């Protein structure tokens, strides 16, 4: 079949094709055909009148029935559905040609299918409505999630402030002690419908709906809180301009020395503030090594070594030597 008679397969194109309606090639003069010059006839465009199903294709020089061609589930009139009608001298004869085809029951059924199709919403509108529905649902879910994040961050900050361990040994749903974080979240959810709904959704579809209560989420929130607190400390130290540093070393579980860098400065209200600025692994426990560690931390937060107005170090006698060396360098 020529391209005008090809029915697209994909839903959207097929929908558009059907809505466009019958193939009707209008020509100034239609080709004549038939036996002998005297009997030659041609298609006539006035035949379209009163026959909204009728099609004419110039590629085939033949007539077709649009609804039977498009909606006919089986071939019952090959001429009007597939090969095309060309017996122009019989076109208007009673019980033949157009009249015979239009009287058939199948044609009636296909005409109804066409009508029903046209009264339905276009496929792209249907798809858009579906997309909109999914999007709205997604937005609502997302919004709900965003609403619970401040609560979870608040729990994180409170636990961090109280130096409480977050995790439990058994965090499964049936555990009687899931760890402080999950137990507190559960407690708050008993009084907060948004959080309760969020946890319910997350446990119903764990793959598509993040709960934000997993160990990795807890770590992430701790990091966010730490970042926020640190940014605030750095901002306050910069506002105060001059500050003092206190260094303290503690061996961690792997016996490596961890260096805590504490800053003392005058806060906005005039009070002395003492805050932990950072916690780094001390590469070398020498005056030189400690100096480099301190310098790299101060550089990281864009704090000037020149603005240091005081130094304090832990009193451990074994360390006093290198600290005094450091003190001299700073
Ligand atoms: Zn038909």
C-alpha 21 to ligand 1 mean position (Å): 13
State the pLDDT at residue 259.
84
Nearest to 222 by CA among 159, 178, 145, 300: 159
- pLDDT of 119-150, one tens digit each? 887 777 777 777 787 778 777 777 777 789 88
Nearest to 34 by CA among 116, 90, 80, 84: 90
Confidence of residue 322 (pLDDT cuts 50, 70, 90): low
Nearest to 83 by CA among 101, 64, 99: 64
Phi then psi dihedrals of residue 243, to 5 deg: -155, 165
Nearest to 326 by CA among 302, 307, 305: 305
C-alpha 20 to ligand 1 mean position (Å): 17
C-alpha 73 to ligand 1 mean position (Å): 12
Residue spans per domain, the chain: 3-120, 125-213, 233-329
Measured over the CA atoms of residue 201, residue 203, residue 205 and residue 211, the dihedral's sign is positive
State the pLDDT at residue 315.
53
Measured over the CA atoms of residue 260, residue 266, residue 267 and residue 272, the dihedral's sign is positive
C-alpha 6 to ligand 1 mean position (Å): 17
pTM over 0.75: no
Q: Are 12 and 124 in contact (CB under 8 A)?
A: yes
State the pLDDT at residue 247.
85
């Amino acid at each position: 079949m020529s391209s005008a008679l090809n029915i697209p397969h994909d839903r959207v194109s097929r929908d558009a094709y059907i809505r466009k309606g019958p193939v009707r090639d209008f020509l100034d003069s239609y080709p004549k055909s038939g036996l002998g010059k005297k009997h030659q006839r041609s298609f006539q465009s006035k035949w379209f009148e009163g026959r909204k199903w009728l099609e004419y294709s110039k590629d085939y020089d033949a007539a077709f029935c649009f609804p039977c061609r498009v909606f006919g589930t089986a071939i019952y009139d090959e001429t009007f559905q597939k090969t095309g009608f060309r017996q122009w001298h019989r076109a208007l004869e009673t019980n033949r040609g157009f009249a015979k085809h239009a009287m058939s029951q199948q044609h009636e059924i296909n005409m109804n299918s066409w009508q029903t199709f046209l009264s339905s919403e276009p496929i792209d509108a249907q798809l858009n409505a579906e997309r909109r529905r999914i999007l709205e649902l997604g937005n609502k879910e997302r919004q709900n999630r965003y609403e619970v994040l401040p609560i979870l961050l608040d729990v994180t900050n409170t636990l961090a402030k109280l130096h409480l361990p977050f995790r439990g040994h058994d965090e499964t749903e049936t555990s009687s002690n899931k760890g402080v974080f999950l137990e507190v979240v559960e407690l708050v959810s008993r009084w907060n419908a948004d959080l309760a709904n969020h946890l319910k959704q997350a446990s119903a579809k764990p793959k598509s709906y993040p709960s934000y209560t997993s160990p990795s989420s807890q770590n992430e929130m701790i990091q966010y809180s730490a970042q926020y607190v640190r940014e605030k400390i750095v901002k306050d130290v910069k506002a105060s301009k001059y500050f003092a540093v206190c260094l303290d070393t503690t061996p961690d579980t792997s016996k490596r020395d961890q260096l805590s860098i504490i800053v003392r400065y005058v806060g906005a209200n005039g009070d002395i503030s003492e805050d932990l600025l950072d916690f780094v692994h001390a590469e070398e426990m020498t005056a030189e090594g400690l100096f480099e560690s301190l310098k790299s931390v101060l550089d990281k937060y864009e704090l000037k070594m020149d603005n240091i107005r005081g130094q304090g170090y832990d009193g451990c006698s074994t360390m006093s030597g290198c600290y005094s060396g450091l003190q001299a360098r700073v």
